[in-house]
Structure 1
Amino acid sequence: MGFIFNILATAAAALVAAYLLPGVSISSVPTAIIVALVLALLNTFVKPILIMLTIPVTLVTLGLFLLVINILIIKWTASLVSGFQVDGWLAALLFSLIVSVVNSVFHGLAKRSEA
């Protein structure tokens, strides 16, 4: 049940980000769910490998290179999912930040309702 909630929360967060950002578009709710699934897969399997390969750069930049990795994951997702478009690196960065914040809010509300 937790995985499904995470996917739906990420899909909702992606829709919020697409609504707020002019450089991001998601064509439909099913596309948002596919975006959430692809993001989950890339963040689970590809992102750790990228982090391990870029440890020296990440250390030199005091962790800021992790933002570049997030941008690459978002841009890769946009290239894999038709109906999801991200125009530019700044839009990808802001999309990543908004999705993270909205996801945090959803998870905080879910924990509060469990208590």
Structure 2
Amino acid sequence: MKLIIEILLMGVAVAVAAFLLPGVQVNGFLSAIIAGVLIALANATIGTILRLLTFPINILTLGIMSFIITVLMVLLVDSLMDGFNTDGFFSALLFAIVLALIKMVFGMFSRD
């Protein structure tokens, strides 16, 4: 049950972030849910491998490299999905920031 709620909240977060940013488009709530799940999966698999490979650079840049990897995962999902589009790196960067802020707000209200 908790997994379903997390997936729905991720879909809401993607939909809200896309609504707030002019450079990001999502074709409906189902596309937002799928995009959210794909972004989470890309971050958990490919993103983790890239973070391990770039660990020294990540330390030197104080974590900025990790954030850039997250933006690259958003761009990867953009290229894989038709219902989720960003207008480029800067739009994906803003989307990742807004998405992280929205998820942080949702995390403040959720209980374990």
Q: TM-score, normalised by structure 1?
A: 0.90
The aligned residue for residue 44 of structure 1 is 44
Query: Matches of residues 12-23 of structure 1 in structure 2 within 5 Å?
Result: 12-23=12-23
The aligned residue for residue 32 of structure 1 is 32
Name the CA distance, whole Å, in 1 between partners of 2:32 and 2:57: 32
Q: Does 1:80 align with 2:76?
A: no
Name the CA distance, whole Å, in 1 between partners of 2:25 and 2:76: 15
> How far did 1:107 drift?
2.3
Name the CA distance, whole Å, in 1 between partners of 2:6 and 2:46: 18
Query: Matches of residues 97-108 of structure 1 in structure 2 within 5 Å?
Result: 97-108=97-108
Name the CA distance, whole Å, in 2 between partners of 1:7 and 1:98: 17
> How far did 1:3 drift?
1.6
| Count, aligned residues | 112
Name the CA distance, whole Å, in 1 between partners of 2:63 and 2:106: 26
Name the CA distance, whole Å, in 2 between partners of 1:71 and 1:86: 11
| Structure 1 residue ranges, 4+ long, deviating more than 3 angstroms after superposition | none
The percentage of counterpart residues that share the same residue type is: 37
Question: Unaligned 5+ residue runs, structure 2?
Answer: none
Cα-Cα RMSD: 1.3
Question: Unaligned 5+ residue runs, structure 1?
Answer: none
> How far did 1:110 drift?
2.2
> How far did 1:65 drift?
1.0
Q: TM-score, normalised by structure 2?
A: 0.92
Three-state SS of the structure 2 residue aligned to 1:82 is coil
The 10-residue stretch of structure 1 (21-30 or 55-64) with the greater mean CA deviation from structure 2: 55-64
Name which structure has the greater RCO, CA cutoff 8 Å, separation 6+. Answer: 1
